[in-house]
Amino acid sequence: MDYKKKLKIIKKEMIIREQMLQKKTQFKKAQEEIFDVDYCLCTDSNNQFKTIYPTEYQAQKVAKFLYKEQGIYLKAYPCPYSSGWHLTKG
């Protein structure tokens, strides 16, 4: 294998490793945000308490992450009973 081909292979491997590291970092940040939330008395269709996010931005960020990772489309809406935000299918 010649020198240029080896360099191309190394460069591709470095790019792939960098992308994997970025994805792990994004996943870890999203997990921290997901677990740093409270619950309110609103329930979903399965009578489970809904997660409440303190800001619309945080709710949208979690929705975007879930869409990227699991293909689930959710949108944020204000909680009708408290000062927070929920996600709904949508």
pLDDT for residue 61 = 92
Residue-wise pLDDT tens digits, 32-90: 665 555 667 888 888 988 888 889 999 999 999 999 989 999 999 999 988 889 999 87
How far is Cα 89 from Cα 60, in angstroms, rounded to an integer? 12
Buried b (16+ CB within 10 A) or exposed e, 44-77: eeeeeebbbbeeeebbbbbbebbeeeeeeebebe
How far is Cα 39 from Cα 22, in angstroms, rounded to an integer? 30
Structure tokens at 7: 């360099």
Indicate the pTM of the whole model: 0.56
Sign of CA dihedral 29, 31, 37, 42: positive
Residue-wise pLDDT tens digits, 10-30: 888 888 888 877 877 776 666
Residues 47 and 76 in one domain: yes
Q: DSSP for 10-42?
A: HHHHHHHHHHHHHHHHHHHHHHHHHHS-EEEEE
Residues 46 and 16 in one domain: no
**How far does CA 61 lie from the centroid of its chain?**
6
pLDDT for residue 77 = 95
Residues 30 and 44 in one domain: no
* Res. 7 pLDDT band, cuts 50 70 90: confident
Residues 48 and 14 in one domain: no
How many structural domains does the chain have?
A: 2
